Amino acid sequence: MRWSLENLYTSFDSREFLEDNNKVLALIDELKEWSRENFKSLENAKEKIEFFLGKINELSSLIYKIAAYSELSLSVDAKTQRHLCILKRLKKLFQKQQNLM
């Protein structure tokens, strides 16, 4: 009668969890730089939209996965203050991300 979250991450300290966090940071930096450069002109619209959609799908999905793991972990273990702290931050972060597009 208990769920398994292992298909998301095995723990907050797992390599996959840390790697995904790093990927989010890298993607945001990449997109900031790319958009400053590429939204200056209207040329190659097709390629630019395709690239942007691909990256935003990847970024949103990663942030969602991290937020989901944190929220689900906390919901069955409310006493873990560490989770609570992570959740509060991620909720804020995720709300921002949901507003993308």
Partner 1 sequence: MYLEKIEKTVSETTEFDVAFKKWLLKLDKIEEVINTSDVIKQHKFIIKESIKSAKHMLSDEQEIVISKMKNTGSSAWSKLQEFLTSTHTVEISLEGEVKKLPLPVVRNMAYSEEQYVRKTAYFAELKSYEKIENSSAAALNGIKGEVITLSKLRGYSSPLDMTLQNSRMDRETLEAMLEAIKEYLPYFRDYLKKKAELLGHKSLKLPFYDLFAPIGKVDMKFTYDEARKFIVENFKTFSDELASFADRAFEENWIDAEPREGKRGGAFCYNLHPIRESRILANFDGSFSNVTTIAHELGHAYHGNCLMDETFLNSNYPMPIAETASIFCETLIVDAALKIANREEKIAILENSLQSSTQTIVDIYSRFLFEDEVFRRREDHSLSVDEFKEIMLDAQRKAYGDALDEKYMHPYMWVNKPHYYYADANYYNFPTPLVNYLLRDLLRNIKRGKLSLQRNTRNCFH
User: Binding residues for partner 1, per CB under 8 A?
Assistant: 1-5, 7-8, 18, 21-22, 24-25, 28-29, 31-32, 34-36, 39, 42, 45-46, 49-50, 52-54, 56-57, 59-65, 68, 71-72, 75-79, 86, 89-90, 92-93, 96-101
Shortest Å, Cβ 67 to partner 1? 10
Helices (H) and strands (E) in the chain, counts: 3, 0
Shortest Å, Cβ 37 to partner 1? 11
Say if residues 87 and 69 touch (Cβ distance below 8 Å): no
Q: Return d(Cα 54, Cα 76) in angstroms, integer.
A: 34
3-class SS of residue 36: helix
